[in-house]
Amino acid sequence: MGLVALNNVIRKDSPIYYRHLYTGIAVVEVAGRRREARIDFVVETNPWGARATTVDILESIDYPALVLQKELKNAIEYLDFQNKLPHQ
């Protein structure tokens, strides 16, 4: 059970250069069944270069939201570290 993949990740336009807005679809496996949920997330860089990630799950799924948010945040931070998030 848990996060399987992040699909269709698209970067949105943002007037603030240190804030990167994204949208995508999280694929989650729950009780042997795969479910999809739309998500929005932000990767923001503070003045000292540290990054903060926030995740919003836009659809209800049968999975604990806090656990899924933590898994998504870890996956997004890994993709950001590997420089695999979309650029404009």
State residue 65's pLDDT score: 85
Flag whether 87 is in a domain: no
Report yes or no on 28 lying in a domain: yes
Domain count, the chain: 1
Query: Is residue 68, in this structure, part of any structural domain at all?
Result: yes
For residue 12, what pLDDT is reported?
A: 95
Q: What is the pTM of this model?
A: 0.91
Give the residue among 59, 61, 54, 56 at the shortest CA–CA distance from 77: 54
Amino acid at 63: Y
Cα 40 from Cα 36, distance rounded (Å) = 13
Specify the 3-state DSSP secondary structure of 53.
strand
The answer as to whether 86 is a domain residue is no
Q: Is residue 25 part of a domain?
A: yes
pLDDT digits (tens), the chain, 88 positions = 688 999 999 999 989 999 999 999 999 998 889 999 999 999 999 999 999 999 999 998 888 889 889 999 999 999 999 999 998 6
Sheet holding 51-57, edge to edge: 2-12, 19-30, 33-45, 51-57
